[in-house]
Chains A and B, each alone.
Chain A
């Protein structure tokens, strides 16, 4: 198919698809006319039966926790896939390929003092902020997914301020890999504890505490924390895989001094 034919055919199809979508959207309730009882019921149930003031976290880590388990494993599996696809080549012929693929522009310029200062200054703040978001998901907007991403920026800031070796010192790949897998398993483990207590999988089995206090809402906080570790670990694995892909193709003599 020539690019021109393809484009014309695609526009026809896309126009049809948009028409169908528009037809469907026209059938939605008008703006502000939400009818479903779900939102009201969930807001009530989250606070009353789970002592969680952030309803979104209550939905994510308790009411629909099985969805979150699936989503966490989507991230886990995708990162495995990236690691697999970017794996180091082992055949001798690939060594030649790598040598031919030398690009001096890929090496990182030493960071300026301004960048160093800014990044190092942000490291402490980011650690604190990430931990806060992960641990306060049951009270205020946030939770494991958002906090995990904030925490994962810390090694990135360190990489920007220094170089990849320091990154590997503060976040050793083996430790991150193990932490990620352990956290993914711990989510299921928390669900299975409930089964051992003769409750359905992923039932909230910890004491619910006082609404509004940090130790409230039972397993919601526990699941939020393991999710935070998993998400943070996953992003660090991604970062270090992409960096390894780029940097390991540069032979030793081209590599700049840190």
Chain B
């Protein structure tokens, strides 16, 4: 069997397994269900990683139903596999594998639904990452959402948690509508749904329809990516979703939104906006920077561990969006590395929070003060350092690449924004880790006003089950190993060069023309990023210590800090009201602003 024959497997196998578990899952012991889900997602991880490897030299184009283009006009649907899409699908498979392992101790009452939904979710993400067709992308986007809404409401025994799931459902459905609107405009103009065909038919056309379609589709996916101010659903959803579900939400679902924006810009819109590159950069980077800063500040202000991690995801999405906003292959390769590293580290952190919830029946940082065990404490600390971009974790390599690209394009100041975001988020995680493990810091404080309660998810048991801590440790170890793999960043940069080339993509898909492998310069790692990242680690620790021992800071400095940040923080908190009407209002306003700015800047 050739490699390309495996292309439909990452979609077909998880969905088939989902149907099988739905059929006889309730007749077999839970252990069997876990094994089926584990084996399917682990095998999908192998297949997607293999597809990423096989597509290094040349993308795999796979026409379903043997409907290859007739006279360059595609009638059917194709998957276009490249290492970046397949790599994201592989990340999703690894995280689902870890999540179903962790969840072995979970959910005694509902027989098989959890595994069905997780497998359907995985199949949807795989299709989303591999497809080369705009409507097919939307179908898998919706399938991903349908599974995610149900998974988010899993603990729906109380009205409170249900509200988080409803906010998630309503806002993300509006995001889906925005994508559908933009898609319809493009189809109405070009009569095509295949990405390559749309790009070729548009032929660099640049008018109101293209700008409107760009604004609508980008904003629709920005809702999923939790870009400020379309992000309000994310902390609420993470706080109520079961821990294994938070893992896949933060680790890969949100990143799928970023991926789709990058994919569609590079493939469809880039030729149209070729004369407006600085403006397009300003627009997308602006959204990214606001997201990074708002997420960072809110992260530091949380005491509910899962909300804290959720806001740190918002901040990291800001970094990713800024990275793709540079519209540059090197930066894009960096974002790909960053997404891998972040997904693994963040998932490990969520699993550790889940261990606290299992062992100590709480995810409240202040309530857990001094009660954490050695093992979760070590994992949480290491995860915090990795989040700060400590070498050699994947986050470090990715961020250095984005910064190097930003420097060469004259956006050097982005480095400062990334540093602030890293310090705020890693500082918050390290603060929580030290408070929980060592009992440092007061047992009340500024974080006091945040959310705190969390429904428990498991039956209490003695000790920490292997199925809980091993996945967290393995994910962290993977993030470590990926960071040390020389050649990974180079492969991703070569793939990124290909990813950015709209006409080569169209030629490959529609005409079958194989273009030469673009050769990327080896990353100019002159060692200048190493001291900077060590500085970030030190500053993150300093932030954590400052938060823990704020009594010892001179009163003048403290007052200054409160004056600088207190007001902004209060307002940001007030915005996170939990009211779905508020969230929709901000969403619509955000889309209108993005659309207006697109009209002004890209016209």
Binding site for B on A (CB under 8 A): 1, 3, 6, 9-10, 12-17, 19-21, 23-29, 34-39, 41-42, 45, 62-67, 69-71, 73-74, 76-78, 80-81, 83-85, 87, 89-91, 177-178, 180-182, 184-185, 188-189, 191-192, 194-195, 199-204
Contacts and interface: CB of A to CB of B under 8 A. Distances in A.
B139 A70 contact: yes
Given A39-B191, A77-B150, A188-B19, A6 B581 contact: yes
Contacts, number: 232
B596 interface: yes
Interface string B166-186: 000000000000000110010
Interface of B: 5, 7-8, 11-12, 15-16, 18-20, 22-23, 62-67, 70, 73, 75-77, 109-110, 113, 116-117, 120, 123-124, 127, 135-136, 139-140, 142-143, 146-147, 149-150, 153-154, 156-157, 162, 181-182, 185, 188-192, 207-213, 215-216, 577, 579, 581-582, 584-585, 587-593, 595-596, 599
B65 A62 contact: yes
Contacts of B11: 66
A227 B107 CA distance: 31
A188 B66 contact: no
Given A13-B590, A84-B153, 13 more contacts: A10-B584, A20-B215, A20-B595, A21-B212, A24-B181, A24-B212, A27-B189, A27-B210, A29-B189, A74-B139, A74-B146, A80-B113, A80-B150
Dominant secondary structure at the B interface: helix
B582 A6 contact: yes
Contacts of A14: 588, 592
Given A62-B65, A63-B67, A64-B76, A10 B588 contact: yes
A67 B135 contact: yes
A235 B207 CA distance: 44
Given A27-B185, A80-B116, A184-B22, A13 B591 contact: yes
A34 B66 CA distance: 27
Contact of B216 (A10, A24, A34): A24
Given A67-B77, A85-B156, A201-B12, A77 B120 contact: yes
A1 B585 contact: yes
Contact of B63 (A13, A26, A200): A200
Contacts of A83: 113
Contacts of A1: 577, 579, 582, 585
A129 B585 CA distance: 45
Given A178-B23, A203-B66, A23 B189 contact: no
A10 B585 contact: yes
B15 A69 contact: yes
A202 B65 contact: yes
Given A70-B127, A80-B150, A201-B12, A20 B191 contact: no
B585 A6 contact: yes
Contact of B212 (A6, A13, A23, A177): A23
Given A6-B581, A38-B73, A81-B117, A181 B19 contact: yes
Contacts of B70: 41, 45
A70 B577 CA distance: 35
22 contacts: A16-B589, A16-B595, A16-B596, A20-B212, A20-B599, A21-B216, A23-B208, A24-B185, A24-B216, A38-B75, A63-B75, A66-B11, A67-B136, A71-B139, A73-B18, A77-B150, A81-B153, A178-B23, A181-B19, A185-B16, A195-B8, A200-B8
A20 B216 contact: yes
A81 B73 contact: no
A77 B73 CA distance: 33
Closest 4 CB pairs of A and B: A36-B191, A16-B592, A27-B209, A81-B150
B65 A24 contact: no
A177 B24 CA distance: 10
Contacts of A78: 146, 150
B208 A34 contact: no
Contacts of B110: 84, 87
Contacts of B12: 188, 191-192, 201
A21 B183 CA distance: 12
A81 B146 contact: yes
Given A23-B599, A84-B150, A195-B5, A70 B143 contact: yes
Contacts of B139: 67, 70-71, 74
A166 to B, nearest CB: 25
Given A41-B73, A74-B142, A178-B23, A84 B588 contact: no
Contacts of B143: 70, 73-74, 77
Nearest to B64: A66
Contacts of A192: 12, 16
B208 A200 contact: no
A194 B64 CA distance: 10
B212 A27 contact: yes
A20 to B, nearest CB: 4
A78 B121 CA distance: 12
B134 to A, nearest CB: 11
B515 to A, nearest CB: 23
A63 B77 CA distance: 7
A251 to B, nearest CB: 21
B384 to A, nearest CB: 34
A73 B123 contact: yes
A27 B599 CA distance: 14
Contacts of A77: 18, 116-117, 120, 143, 146-147, 150
A17 B595 contact: yes
Given A1-B585, A77-B147, A65 B215 contact: no
A32 B118 CA distance: 45
A111 B154 CA distance: 37
Given A20-B215, A36-B191, A63 B592 contact: no
A34 B582 CA distance: 41
B185 A182 contact: no
Given A20-B212, A203-B65, A90 B109 contact: yes
Contacts of B116: 77, 80
Nearest to B598: A20
A70 B592 contact: no
B512 to A, nearest CB: 15
A129 to B, nearest CB: 28
Contacts of A81: 117, 146-147, 149-150, 153
A200 B73 contact: no
Contacts of A29: 188-189
B394 to A, nearest CB: 31
A5 B561 CA distance: 31
B191 A37 contact: yes
Given A1-B585, A74-B146, A34 B75 contact: no
B466 to A, nearest CB: 28
Contacts of B157: 89, 91
B177 to A, nearest CB: 10
A36 B156 CA distance: 47
Contacts of A27: 185, 189, 207-210, 212
Contacts of B154: 84
A26 B64 contact: no
Given A70-B124, A81-B117, A17 B588 contact: yes
Given A9-B589, A63-B67, A42 B209 contact: no
Most buried by A among B19, B63, B216, B584: B19
Contacts of A182: 19, 23
